[in-house]
Amino acid sequence: MIVTRIIGGLGNQMFQYAAGRALAIASQAPLKLDLSEMEKYKLRSFALDQFKIQVQPAKPAELPARRPKTLIDRVSGIWNRRPHYEHVVETSMTFDPTVLQRRGEIYLSGYWQSEKYFSAVAAEIRSDFNLKGAMSEMRDGTRTQIVSAASPVSVHVRRGDYVTNPAANAVHGTCPPEWYDEAMSRMQQRHANVTFFIFSDDPQWARENLHSTSPMHFVEPQGDGRDGEDMHLMAACHDHIIANSSFSWWGAWLNPRMDKHVIAPRQWFKAQDKDDRDIIPASWERL
């Protein structure tokens, strides 16, 4: 069995699932999700159930053995009856090819933010991340606008805790208005009739700071917990300008078009000690 630890927001959950799924396919082994930390996590909720994944949460008895804390645990032998997994813990942000070579009872603990962990099974991952249900009426209307546009480009502005939380800001930082100006200008040079679809958790800031001679459509966040639908709206666009965010990373990656163009921040992290060389696919442009 392969068990992958799930923690964080939707984009991080997707990376963790995708790495586990790829290893499970390579091993011809079942995959289970460890949701024990998500049950206590206050910042985000488990969100993979928006998609057509067929994987079940691991039962307590299927999780890695913990060293017995009490005499009763030791006498009962509960610890010995638990599966004894090989713990594969992410030690850096760079791609580790040995992860996909592991076999047996494997427990994955990390973020695995690189498509290199699952590029060999990209079709299966995209299929798993199809929406389980129909889009809301408002989002379906936005999707109609996107598919009707000649050259729709998604633009993601990530702010939220990257601005309000000093610790998060020190690690991540945000893309300034000048960066978006240049990225949007480059998209205009590629296409004659661009329409920008702006996605942001701070739409007021986006309206005040993003400027373009091309049409801009601001997609209002709904706050209904159905963020996977917004991600699929991004994926419906032809091209993408993504923030330093796993959410818009997936919005761009889920777009299966071979001719798509993606512009991503050259500096993914504000913190200088983070090695981000494997986060952005080689075919994407770093600005």
Q: Which of 16-20, 120-124, 264-268 has the lowest mean pLDDT?
A: 264-268
pLDDT score recorded for residue 235: 98
User: Given this model, what pLDDT does residue 223 score?
Assistant: 84
With cut-offs at 50, 70 and 90, classify the pLDDT of residue 74: low
Using alpha carbons, list the distances in angstroms from residue 127 to 2, 28, 124, 143, 255: 20, 18, 5, 19, 12
Instruction: Go through 89-98 and write b for each residue having 16 or more CB atoms within 10 A of its CB, e for each that does not.
Output: ebeebebbee
CB of 199 closer than 8 Å to CB of 217? no
- Note the pLDDT tens digit of each residue in 101-133: 999 999 999 999 999 999 999 999 999 999 999
pLDDT band at 269 (very low <50, low <70, confident <90, very high): confident
Lowest mean pLDDT segment, chosen from 62-66, 175-179, 235-239: 62-66
- What percentage of the chain carries pLDDT values higher than 90? 75
Instruction: Report the candidate in 253, 244, 13, 258 with the shortest Cα–Cα distance to residue 116.
Output: 253
Return the percent helix, strand and coil in the chain, to nearest 5.
Answer: 40, 15, 45
> What is the tens place of the pLDDT at every residue in 200-211?
999 999 999 999
Q: Is the pLDDT of residue 262 over 80?
A: yes
**Is it the case that residue 88 has pLDDT exceeding 50?**
yes
Per-residue confidence band for 166, with pLDDT thresholds at 50, 70 and 90: low
Phi-psi region of 77 (alpha: psi -120 to 50; beta: other; left: phi over 0): left
Give the pLDDT mean for 85-101: 93
Q: What is the pLDDT of residue 64?
A: 83
Q: Cα–Cα distance between 206 and 232 in angstroms, integer? A: 20
pLDDT at 168 over 70: no
DSSP code of 51? B
Q: Is the pLDDT of residue 251 over 60?
A: yes
Say how far apart CA 9 and CA 50 lie, in whole Å: 13
Confidence of residue 81 (pLDDT cuts 50, 70, 90): low
Contact status, residue 195 vs residue 237, Cβ threshold 8 Å: no
Give the pLDDT band of residue 226 (cuts 50, 70, 90). very high
**pLDDT reading at 79 higher than 50:** no
The predicted pLDDT at position 182 comes to 97
pLDDT in tens, 185-225: 999 999 989 999 999 999 999 999 999 999 999 999 888 98
| Position 171 confidence tier, pLDDT thresholds 50, 70, 90 | low
Higher pLDDT, 217 or 78: 217
Is the predicted pLDDT of residue 164 greater than 80, yes or no?
no
The backbone torsions φ and ψ at residue 139, rounded to the nearest 5 degrees and listed phi first, read -65, -35
pLDDT of residue 42: 80
- Residue 180 is predicted with a pLDDT of 97
Residue 107 token pair: 């427990």
Assigned token pair, 99: 């992860």
Predicted local confidence at residue 83, as pLDDT: 67
